[in-house]
Chain A
Amino acid sequence: MRVLWPLPALALCVVLPWVPGVPVFWVTLLNYIGISAIVVIGLVVLTGIGGMTSFGQASFVGFGAYTTAILSTQYAVSPWLALAAAIAVSAVAALLIGAITLRLSGHYLALGTLAWGVSLYYTFANLDFFGRNDGISRIPPLDVFGTKLIDGRLYFTVIWVGVVLACLATGNLLDSRAGRAIRALRGGALAAASFGVDTLRARMLAFVYAAMLAAFAGWLYAHMQRSVNPTPFGLNASIEYLFMAVVGGAAHVPGALLGAGLVTIVNDRLQDILPKLFGAQGSFETIVFGAILVAVLQAAPEGVWPHLARIRLQRHRVRPDAPPLPVRAPAPRGTPILEVAGLHKTFGGLTAVNNIAFSVAAGEIVGLIGPNGAGKSTTFNLLTGVTAPSAGSVRFAGQPLIGLPARTIARLGIARTFQHVKLVASMSVIENVAIGAHLRGHASALDGLLRLDRAEEARLFAEAARQLARVGLADAADRPATSLALGQQRIVEIARALCLDPVLLLLDEPAAGLRHNEKAELATLLRRLREEGVAILLVEHDMDFVMNLTDRLVVMDFGTKLAEGPAETVRNDPAVIEAYLGSVA
């Protein structure tokens, strides 16, 4: 099914405009819808899936349109060659703009793109090079084997073949290693980075990809209109594209088509009807538009598409015969893996962690325990590079860890889980787990786009399936990640961590929310990992679980180390008893 839909779609692109009874007016409208849809598909990747709102998307349409307009009118370059140039110019512009803007988070980014959009609009409108406000006219039409595509019905085929290609490419991209990195941004930048995703690069990829699609749409627009001027590339146009994405369903590619269609048609009807209705001057459609936008956000913040179609996650057919991924040579048991010395962290006047020292060796499970507020979570964050310590050293296999970004820490072979589960809600369980294997794959975005990555993808997913089976969640592979119970979601996080092929596993309250049997299974799994030589550090509240599982315990209270040693020793330590139960006196 998934493979077959483009064929009838392509046939329709050729035949539909010539079906008797299809009015030319509708073909023209569909042409506009198609062009908008291509821009909006880019926005779906960027905004709906990558979580970056762009108020400047129309400027990239402008880059595409102006590039081809200038090349084909002033330098007599063939429009087909100009297409490559248009996309390249837009991509370079996106790289430059992205380099400056994409590090910003959420609303800063949105406002940054807004500023870009306004600046670029005035640049187009004021430079002679772009023909100022008059723009550039007499752009040659497209030409296929000597036939000039001036008739809208011929042009329809070009546009809609473009739409089909854009849908296919986007589907391929999202279902690849690079696309999962973009989708993982939604689960929080930290979670993605902890498994080696270069979040800035993933954001850049989405930004550039969206800009390239926009430029493609701009190229189509320029050769359809045969003239360009700054107006369709201004802020209002950008807002309209965003509106289409929101109305259709910003997180879904079909939503882009639906949104572009709905908005274009409603807009066209409104421009027709409203002036007759009110019989006066005025841009009534913008009023109605704005009001509908707000109403849609209030009534259906996910857009229309999720209400029409039951969103099904893509099923991943796992090929167990795929050759396994290479694994790290395990460290010999007893090799010191994690060495913490003199670790110190103050927040203002509060000392959260005070001179903590301990170590974890290969093939050893160490538990970090202590009452609430003891500084366990802070210690955990210091080890994983989330917060920087005030003093002290953390070494991993002899190498200093402090100051390294989460991504590099992942690369060294340190995998972690989170106290507050960080899974990507819009992805299935197995896709979430496959993010853990991000660093074990190498396919580029282009490989993904062209489906050259299938062999590697099969290996990644076979590995993900293996780890899921190992934690006992093989049956849940294709379910939405957040449909599982919270305890099971923690287990999914462990499977994701295992996909990294870790040397050191850092687990933050792995047993919380698990039932008795599940805890026993988790303990068995962790013991087996210990046998394989993995070093494990866990923060846990469940004393029963910790006491029976760990080789050694580190007890913290008020930021300082209270005791360290095997479970029995710690259990009988008077200081520990006092910290947990209060003094007997």
Chain B
Amino acid sequence: MDATILLILVQDGVVNGAIYALLALSLVLVFAVTRVIFIPQGEFVAYGALTYAALDTGQLPGSVWLLCGLGLAACVCGLWQQRRTLTAGATTRLVLQTVVLPAAITALAAFVAPRKPGVLIEALLALAIVTPMAPYLYRVAFQALAEASVLVLLIAAVGVHLAMVGLGLVFFGPEGSRATGFSDAVLSFGALTVQGQALWIVGLTVVLMGALYGFFEFTLFGKALRATAVNRLGARLVGIATAQSGVIAFTLAGAIGALSGVLIAPLTTVYYDTGFLVGLKGFTAAIIGGLASYPAAALAAILVGIVESFSSFWASAFKEVIVFTVIIPVLLWRSLRSTAVEEDE
């Protein structure tokens, strides 16, 4: 191995790691606020990528119908859950959020898609199509389970993951897609050549992390989310609508997942079921970071990315084995550090 290969591998690792870092951040976010271990995160990546790729070819992506369907389901669930306390205002809001919004997005997509408006508009449109699915999912699957144990929520998350993979196959078909990048510039710094798309990924990741930091530190919504994360009941007692916090957390996670998908779509061929492994690597990072700390999770994600790129160079067949066993020394360390008698939550 020479220095050029080394640099390429590191670069690859950092770019992939940046994506894992985004996913790890949103996993930590969702877990902290709702205690849901968000296994379907990977599906948002795949949906984002495939929606973007469809728009890129001028087609109306199948996911708009899924969006409408999920919105309708969320509407029905919302009406059912609030059937005793429903007011005219709340009903209107619910219908606006879950029926009118997806219809509007669908109409917009149907109008814009054939005109091929360019990558940025397409990317934004893809985000608009995929992101609302997350809060709809929260309303349909998780809101009724808000008080359940972490394990029940985890199993429910697995159920949602299964359903979403199946739906992905229905709406996107079994073929993989690849999309145009944000930039086809190739920059070279001495021995290192850097693709424009890679810079986009790393840059957006950094910006998004900064934005999330600002959101949690300085905005009332962000603080409400953190309060919910620390103590649900306490947050509710001081007037924070914890269900609303769940919706916000899921929306953020959906947006981050979809964005990650849009970002990786030009780098690799994405299939309807690609997301799961990508999401799992985000998990590895989040677990290493302890599902609690954002900076630790982000650093761990870069590490996972680099381990992955090096192991695909040396032992590509065992890439996944190596990446997932990276967890084990970390788990070991955590378990040796933890006290002998640990109280379950």
> Which positions 168-210 of chain B face chain A at CB distance < 8 Å?
169-170, 174
A272-299 interface code vs B (CB 8 A; 1 in, 0 out): 0000000011111111111111100110
Known A-B contacts A122-B321, A199-B341, A301-B148; A104 and B335 likewise in contact (beta carbons under 8 Å) = yes
Residues of A within 8 A of B156 (CB): 293-294, 297-298
State whether A107 touches B37 (Cβ < 8 A): yes
The reply to whether the CB of A363 lies closer than 8 angstroms to some CB of chain B is no
Residues of B within 8 A of A199 (CB): 341
Task: A10 to B150: give the CA distance in the assembly, Å.
Answer: 39
**A253 → B minimal CB distance (Å):** 19
The reply to whether the CB of B287 lies closer than 8 angstroms to some CB of chain A is yes
Instruction: Report the stretch among B87-95, B213-221, B323-331 that lies at the interface.
Output: B323-331
State whether A293 touches B335 (Cβ < 8 A): no
State whether B321 touches A126 (Cβ < 8 A): yes
The reply to whether the CB of A18 lies closer than 8 angstroms to some CB of chain B is no
The reply to whether the CB of A27 lies closer than 8 angstroms to some CB of chain B is no
State whether A293 touches B148 (Cβ < 8 A): no
Instruction: Report the stretch among B7-15, B44-52, B159-167, B229-237 that lies at the interface.
Output: B159-167
The reply to whether the CB of B154 lies closer than 8 angstroms to some CB of chain A is yes
> Which positions 290-344 of chain A face chain B at CB distance < 8 Å?
290-294, 297-298, 301
Task: A243 to B340: give the CA distance in the assembly, Å.
Answer: 31
A290 contacts which of B163, B280, B335 (Cβ < 8 Å)?
Answer: B163
The reply to whether the CB of B103 lies closer than 8 angstroms to some CB of chain A is no
**A580 → B minimal CB distance (Å):** 30
- Which B residue's beta carbon lies closest to that of A110? B154
The reply to whether the CB of B2 lies closer than 8 angstroms to some CB of chain A is no
A293 contacts which of B159, B320, B328, B331 (Cβ < 8 Å)?
Answer: B159
State whether B154 touches A189 (Cβ < 8 A): no
The reply to whether the CB of A105 lies closer than 8 angstroms to some CB of chain B is yes
The reply to whether the CB of A101 lies closer than 8 angstroms to some CB of chain B is yes
B148 contacts which of A119, A242, A297 (Cβ < 8 Å)?
Answer: A297
Residues of B within 8 A of A190 (CB): 341, 343
State whether B155 touches A242 (Cβ < 8 A): yes
Task: A246 to B162: give the CA distance in the assembly, Å.
Answer: 15
- Which B residue's beta carbon lies closest to that of A406? B341
**A119 → B minimal CB distance (Å):** 4
Task: A199 to B338: give the CA distance in the assembly, Å.
Answer: 14
The reply to whether the CB of A174 lies closer than 8 angstroms to some CB of chain B is no
Known A-B contacts A190-B343, A283-B166, A301-B152; A290 and B159 likewise in contact (beta carbons under 8 Å) = yes
Known A-B contacts A112-B327, A112-B331, A284-B170; A289 and B162 likewise in contact (beta carbons under 8 Å) = yes
A103 contacts which of B144, B151, B338, B344 (Cβ < 8 Å)?
Answer: B338
Task: A123 to B145: give the CA distance in the assembly, Å.
Answer: 36
**A16 → B minimal CB distance (Å):** 33
**B269 → A minimal CB distance (Å):** 19
**B322 → A minimal CB distance (Å):** 8
State whether A293 touches B150 (Cβ < 8 A): no
The reply to whether the CB of A100 lies closer than 8 angstroms to some CB of chain B is yes
B331-345 interface code vs A (CB 8 A; 1 in, 0 out): 110111010111111
Residues of B within 8 A of A284 (CB): 166, 170
Task: A406 to B340: give the CA distance in the assembly, Å.
Answer: 9
Task: A246 to B149: give the CA distance in the assembly, Å.
Answer: 13
- Which A residue's beta carbon lies closest to that of B171? A282
Size of B's binding interface in residues, CB under 8 A: 50
> Which positions 80-106 of chain A face chain B at CB distance < 8 Å?
100-101, 103-106
State whether A189 touches B341 (Cβ < 8 A): yes
The reply to whether the CB of A439 lies closer than 8 angstroms to some CB of chain B is no
State whether A287 touches B167 (Cβ < 8 A): yes
The reply to whether the CB of A164 lies closer than 8 angstroms to some CB of chain B is no
Residues of A within 8 A of B155 (CB): 53, 242-243, 246, 293, 297
B126-168 interface code vs A (CB 8 A; 1 in, 0 out): 0000000000000011001100101110111011111111110
The reply to whether the CB of B313 lies closer than 8 angstroms to some CB of chain A is no
The reply to whether the CB of A370 lies closer than 8 angstroms to some CB of chain B is no
The reply to whether the CB of A400 lies closer than 8 angstroms to some CB of chain B is no
Task: A251 to B165: give the CA distance in the assembly, Å.
Answer: 29
State whether A111 touches B37 (Cβ < 8 A): yes
The reply to whether the CB of B16 lies closer than 8 angstroms to some CB of chain A is no
Residues of B within 8 A of A53 (CB): 151, 154-155
> What is the interface of chain B mostly: helix, strand, loop, or mixed?
helix
**B158 → A minimal CB distance (Å):** 5
Residues of B within 8 A of A188 (CB): 343-344
Task: A108 to B344: give the CA distance in the assembly, Å.
Answer: 11
Task: A281 to B331: give the CA distance in the assembly, Å.
Answer: 41
Residues of B within 8 A of A119 (CB): 320-321, 324-325
The reply to whether the CB of A421 lies closer than 8 angstroms to some CB of chain B is no
State whether B162 touches A106 (Cβ < 8 A): no
**B344 → A minimal CB distance (Å):** 6
Known A-B contacts A107-B154, A287-B167; A405 and B341 likewise in contact (beta carbons under 8 Å) = yes
Task: A119 to B281: give the CA distance in the assembly, Å.
Answer: 12
The reply to whether the CB of A193 lies closer than 8 angstroms to some CB of chain B is yes
Residues of B within 8 A of A280 (CB): 170
State whether B328 touches A100 (Cβ < 8 A): yes
Residues of A within 8 A of B343 (CB): 188-190
Task: A100 to B332: give the CA distance in the assembly, Å.
Answer: 6
- Which B residue's beta carbon lies closest to that of A108? B287
Task: A504 to B162: give the CA distance in the assembly, Å.
Answer: 54
State whether B160 touches A115 (Cβ < 8 A): no
State whether B344 touches A286 (Cβ < 8 A): no
The reply to whether the CB of A262 lies closer than 8 angstroms to some CB of chain B is no
State whether A110 touches B151 (Cβ < 8 A): yes
The reply to whether the CB of A29 lies closer than 8 angstroms to some CB of chain B is no
- Which B residue's beta carbon lies closest to that of A286? B166
Residues of A within 8 A of B174 (CB): 281
> Which positions 113-133 of chain B face chain A at CB distance < 8 Å?
none
Residues of B within 8 A of A71 (CB): none
Residues of A within 8 A of B245 (CB): none
- Which A residue's beta carbon lies closest to that of B316? A126
Task: A542 to B169: give the CA distance in the assembly, Å.
Answer: 66
Task: A493 to B108: give the CA distance in the assembly, Å.
Answer: 65
The reply to whether the CB of A51 lies closer than 8 angstroms to some CB of chain B is yes
State whether B166 touches A282 (Cβ < 8 A): yes
Task: A193 to B152: give the CA distance in the assembly, Å.
Answer: 25
Residues of A within 8 A of B260 (CB): none
The reply to whether the CB of A563 lies closer than 8 angstroms to some CB of chain B is no
Residues of A within 8 A of B167 (CB): 287
- Which A residue's beta carbon lies closest to that of B332? A100
Residues of B within 8 A of A107 (CB): 37, 150-151, 154, 291
The reply to whether the CB of A118 lies closer than 8 angstroms to some CB of chain B is yes
The reply to whether the CB of A239 lies closer than 8 angstroms to some CB of chain B is yes
Q: Quick one: which of A47, A107, A123, A190 has the most chain B CB within 10 A?
A: A107
State whether B344 touches A111 (Cβ < 8 A): no
- Which A residue's beta carbon lies closest to that of B284? A115
Q: List 28 A-B contacts (CB under 8 A).
A: A101-B331, A103-B335, A103-B336, A104-B331, A105-B338, A107-B151, A107-B154, A111-B37, A111-B287, A115-B325, A116-B324, A118-B280, A118-B320, A119-B325, A122-B324, A193-B340, A243-B155, A281-B174, A287-B163, A289-B163, A290-B158, A290-B163, A294-B140, A294-B156, A294-B160, A298-B145, A301-B148, A386-B341
For the complex of A and B, 9 pairs with smallest distance between CB atoms: A290-B163, A293-B159, A103-B335, A290-B162, A287-B166, A286-B166, A126-B317, A290-B159, A119-B324
- Given A283-B165, A287-B166, 8 more contacts at CB 8 Å? A100-B332, A103-B336, A106-B344, A126-B321, A189-B344, A290-B158, A293-B159, A405-B340
Q: Which residues of B contact A (CB under 8 A)?
A: 37, 140-141, 144-145, 148, 150-152, 154-156, 158-167, 169-170, 174, 280, 283-284, 287, 291, 317-318, 320-321, 324-325, 327-328, 331-332, 334-336, 338, 340-345
